[in-house]
Structure 1
Amino acid sequence: MTYSQLMYFHLLTVVPCFFLGTALIFMRKGTNLHKFLGRIYMILMVITALSTLFMPAKVGPLFFGHFGYLHLFSFLTLYSVPTAYWALKKGNVKLHKRKMILLYVGALLIAGGFTFFPGRFMHTVFFG
């Protein structure tokens, strides 16, 4: 895949994550709908994180000739999703909730916010 194709694939997976994550934060917890949407959200977040690992950093310093600072959020996601899932399976709802909120804030709000900085794709889309 080209960088451009990866970018659009990434957008195709991350945009629904933003809306699903927002809905999940505000909806009643523990319902069948919450569980169903939560599974979709977690799967899409993992796919999103994995897709970014194939996208070389275009802004800022490079690590290993490929990764940038934003890739740290991809690794955070790949750690947080399974550990949040296992916390819930072990009955630790409090830890699950904390991990999912930190994932939403870190991976979607903070990392997503950085994509609107000059030199990045979303900045170009929205601000020319």
Structure 2
Amino acid sequence: MTAATARSIQFLNPFHRPAGALDLTPLTRGIVMVAGTAMTALCVLAIARGMLGLTPDLPHLGNIAVVIHVTTVVPCVPLGLFLLLAPKGTAMHKQLGKLWVALMVVTATSTLWIHGLGNFTWIHIFVPMTYRAAWLIVSSARKGDMKQHRNEIVGLFLGALMIPGVFAFVLDGRLMNVMTFG
């Protein structure tokens, strides 16, 4: 077996990898894999149903804030999953990480206009959480504090991406709910 093959096998097996400075614990890695894979599958299902015309009318898409929100949040799920599982510190990791943080900030900002600026609901608590985490992700990486960098990313991925994502699919009338369950 070549070294490249061994590395690719290690990437696929979350519980048998040598730990690096940014690596997740086996439990956190497993949670990230399950949550990220399930959410990615739901997003693919919703988009496929929408593209195939298997959904009812989608008046949500008449709101530009919703369109921006969905366009930026959907790629955050598989991209965040990849970044959390792939080798850290590479040039590709750094560039894709910057893209992921930027998409998360745009996603959070777009939610402020979905119901009109100032008309907030409980789910908007994730907006300041996202801004805070984005700032700390960048600042901790620049300082070389990889432990805080990792913890903020995992918190943002699971807290501000997966939790609202679950509600997007389970609450009646939300776009992802309508696209998935009709």
Q: The residue matched to 2:63 in structure 1 has which SS? A: helix
Shift of 1:56: 2.0
Q: Within 1, Cα distance between the matches of 2:67 and 2:115?
A: 14
1:56 aligned onto 2:109: no
Identity of aligned residues (%): 38
What does residue 129 of structure 2 align with? 76
Shift of 1:119: 2.8
* Contact 1:56–1:68 (Cα < 8 Å) also in 2: no
Q: Within 1, Cα distance between the matches of 2:118 and 2:127?
A: 17
What does residue 181 of structure 2 align with? 127
Return 81-90 or 113-122, whichever deviates more: 113-122
Give me the TM-score of the superposition, normalised by structure 1. 0.88
* Contact 1:3–1:55 (Cα < 8 Å) also in 2: no
Q: Within 2, Cα distance between the matches of 1:106 and 1:15?
A: 15
1:15 aligned onto 2:68: no
What does residue 114 of structure 1 align with? 167
The amino acid across from 1:88 in the alignment is A
Shift of 1:65: 5.9
Q: Within 2, Cα distance between the matches of 1:47 and 1:37?
A: 15
Give me the TM-score of the superposition, normalised by structure 2. 0.63
* Contact 1:13–1:48 (Cα < 8 Å) also in 2: yes
Uncovered stretches (5+) of structure 1, i.e. residues with no partner: 58-63
* Contact 1:56–1:67 (Cα < 8 Å) also in 2: yes
Shift of 1:6: 1.3
Which one has a bigger Cα radius of gyration? 2
Q: Deviations over 1:3-41 (max 9, x none)?
A: 622111111111111111011011001011100100000
The amino acid across from 2:121 in the alignment is G
Give 4+ residue runs of structure 1 displaced > 6 Å after superposition.
none
Return 92-101 or 72-81, whichever deviates more: 72-81
Higher relative contact order (CA 8 A, sep 6+): 2
Q: The residue matched to 1:70 in structure 2 has which SS? A: helix
Uncovered stretches (5+) of structure 2, i.e. residues with no partner: 1-60
What does residue 42 of structure 2 align with? none
Return 118-127 or 85-94, whichever deviates more: 118-127
1:66 aligned onto 2:143: no
Count of residue pairs brought into register by the alignment:
121
1:102 aligned onto 2:158: no
